[in-house]
């Protein structure tokens, strides 16, 4: 099999959307390595599990024997690293998993990639890329009037999650600088869309609203995030893989700054329209303010002008169009939602929100 890429974490939210979009848009083979932790869900990939272009392998990026075996067998021209623990609240309650996966796992993966790349021919070396998918949270928090984060912004991570991702970003940069490995790093803003595990804000609010549960909003709900529709993110990654300059960083944002409370109220408005409550009341009546997250960053915003200028990417979806597509998807896929909500997930929701 020729012209193969390896994707790590391809059963997670962004990874699964990338796998699906890659097969739709590129039509080339993809090897999908995923450990299948709580957020990895093969149901998200059900439509391509029998596609011969999609090779799924259950494994850990920290397992060198596994990764080396994949490289020997499939000879990829690129590796796209989505594999990560990614939920801030989980990192506050249990940071060890984040260090092990996001820091040590990335290190082990980089070592395997470096060994593989060193043995490639000159032409293969020039073509090869290692693309590391990261987050805007490594930059810390912005004040209301601060300019958005750029690729030159100082790293100031404020949670165990963002600190672990910052460490992995630095490792990737160091392997490019020290060993000449052709690396690329993308730092994205808050993703939303189909297939997102229902612990994150938007799917949690949709699911809770439909079940007539409280809609828990941290603090005063005035925290600001930039929202990026996941399929726009996937398109950006494909374009960076093709046209990005090695050792460069590209920020990917949706140009959609929004207060958390406003996001929740927009979800309620769409649900009022698409699936009204039986009693005729608005879902907004279920909103409840809860104790804020420790060290909660107040504002993130991404300046995505570099990727537009150098590569020609910009998001297709507005927040309004993307959110409507997202709500529609969840309304039409509640079976998927119910299957991913395991006992462990319910225990987590109780642990995180029960005492707030």
Q: Running DSSP on this structure, what letter comes out for residue 50?
A: T
Report d(CA 354, CA 13) in Å as an integer. Answer: 25
Name the active-site residue from 85, 89, 137, 265.
137
Please tell me which residue in 74, 139, 161, 353 is annotated as part of the active site: 161
Task: Report the C-alpha gap between 254 and 345 in whole angstroms.
Answer: 29
Contact 35/12 with Cβ under 8 angstroms?
A: no
Q: Is residue 263 part of a domain?
A: no
Q: How confident is the model at residue 350 (pLDDT cuts 50, 70, 90)?
A: low
Q: What is the pLDDT of residue 293?
A: 83
Amino acid 343: pLDDT: 54
164, part of any domain = yes
C-alpha 36/C-alpha 65 separation (Å) is 18
Options 34, 60, 136, 232, the catalytic residue: 136
Choice among 43-57, 78-92, 146-160, 250-264 with the minimum mean pLDDT: 78-92
Weakest mean pLDDT among 8-17, 88-97, 298-307: 88-97
- Is 328 contained in some domain? no
Q: What is the pTM of this model?
A: 0.93
Using pLDDT thresholds of 50, 70 and 90, give the confidence band for residue 347: low
Residue 333 forms part of a structural domain: no
Does residue 346 surpass a pLDDT of 90? no
Strands of 197-330, DSSP E = 215-218, 224-229, 249-252, 257-259, 287-290
Q: What is the CATH number of the domain that holds 310?
A: 3.40.50.720
Distance CA 4, CA 31 (A): 7
CA distance 249 to 62: 24
Is 284 part of any domain? no
What tokens were used for 91?
């990192």
pLDDT of amino acid 345: 46
Chain centroid to CA 5: how far? 19
pLDDT at 18 over 60: yes
Mean pLDDT, residues 170-184 taken together:
98
Give the pLDDT mean for 165-185: 98
How many other β-carbons are positioned within 10 Å of the β-carbon of residue 160?
22
- 55 pLDDT higher than 60: yes
With both helix axes pointing from N to C terminus, report the angle between 319-332 and 201-210 in degrees, rounded to the nearest 10.
50
Contacts of 7 by beta carbon, 8 Å cutoff, 6+ apart: 15, 18, 19, 22, 30, 31, 32, 33, 79, 80, 82
Q: What does the alpha-carbon distance between residue 249 and residue 134 come to, in Å, rounded to a whole number?
A: 10
In sequence order, what are the beta bridge partners of 258?
225
* DSSP H/E element including 8: strand 5-8
> How far apart, in whole angstroms, are the C-alpha atoms of residue 299 and residue 253?
14
Cα(56)–Cα(42) distance, integer angstroms = 9
Residue span of the structural domain in which 142 resides:
5-193+229-256+296-316
137 has catalytic annotation: yes
Single out the residue of 117, 293, 284, 153 nearest to residue 208, CA to CA: 284
Residue 9 backbone class (left: φ over 0; alpha: ψ -120 to 50; beta: rest): left
Contact 233, 313 (CB under 8 A): no
Output the CA–CA distances (angstroms, integers) from residue 188 to 2, 25, 255, in the order listed: 30, 21, 11
Average pLDDT over residues 112-133: 98
Alpha-carbon distance of 215 to 207, in angstroms, equals: 9
Q: Within a domain: residue 356?
A: no
- At residue 17, the 3 state secondary structure works out as helix
The total of structural domains in the chain comes to: 1
For residue 348, is pLDDT > 70?
Answer: no
52 catalytic per annotation: no
> How confident is the model over 84-112, as a mean pLDDT?
92
Tell me, yes or no, if 38 is annotated catalytic. Answer: no
pLDDT in tens, 272-301: 999 999 999 999 999 999 999 888 889 999
DSSP letters along 132-191, please? Answer: EEEEGGGG----TTSPPB-TTPPP---SHHHHHHHHHHHHHHHHHHHH---EEEEEE-EE
């Amino acid at each position: 099999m020729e012209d193969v890429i390896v994707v790590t974490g391809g059963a997670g939210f962004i990874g699964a959307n990338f796998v699906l979009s890659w097969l739709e848009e590129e039509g080339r083979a993809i090897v999908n390595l995923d450990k299948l932790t709580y957020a990895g869900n093969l149901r998200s990939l059900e439509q391509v599990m029998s596609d011969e272009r999609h090779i799924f392998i259950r494994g850990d990026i920290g397992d060198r024997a596994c990764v080396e075996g994949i490289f020997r067998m499939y000879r990829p021209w690129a590796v796209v690293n989505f594999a990560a623990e990614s939920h801030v609240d989980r990192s506050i309650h249990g940071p060890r998993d984040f260090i092990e996966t996001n820091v040590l796992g990335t290190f082990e993966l980089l070592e395997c990639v470096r060994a593989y790349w060193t043995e490639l021919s000159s032409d293969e070396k020039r073509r090869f890329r290692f693309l590391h998918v990261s987050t805007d949270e490594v930059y810390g928090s912005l004040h209301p009037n601060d300019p958005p984060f750029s690729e030159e912004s100082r790293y100031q991570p404020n949670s165990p999650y963002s600190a672990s991702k910052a460490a992995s970003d630095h490792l990737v940069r160091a392997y490019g600088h020290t060993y000449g490995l052709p690396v690329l790093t993308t730092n994205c803003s808050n993703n939303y869309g189909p297939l997102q595990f229902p612990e994150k804000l938007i799917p949690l609010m949709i699911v809770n609203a439909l079940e007539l549960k409280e809609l828990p909003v941290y603090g005063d709900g005035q925290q600001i995030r930039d929202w990026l529709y996941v399929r726009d993110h996937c398109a950006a990654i494909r374009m960076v893989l093709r046209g990005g300059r090695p050792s460069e960083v590209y920020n990917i944002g949706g140009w959609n700054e929004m207060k958390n409370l406003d996001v929740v109220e927009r979800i309620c408005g769409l649900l009022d329209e698409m699936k009204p409550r039986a009693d005729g009341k608005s879902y907004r009546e279920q909103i409840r303010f809860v104790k804020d997250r420790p060290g909660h960053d107040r504002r993130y915003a991404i300046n995505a002008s570099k990727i537009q200028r150098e590569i020609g990417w910009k998001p297709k979806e507005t927040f309004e169009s993307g959110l409507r597509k997202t709500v529609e998807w969840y309304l039409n896929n509640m079976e998927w939602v119910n299957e991913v909500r395991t006992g462990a997930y319910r225990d987590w929701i109780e642990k995180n929100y029960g005492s707030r």
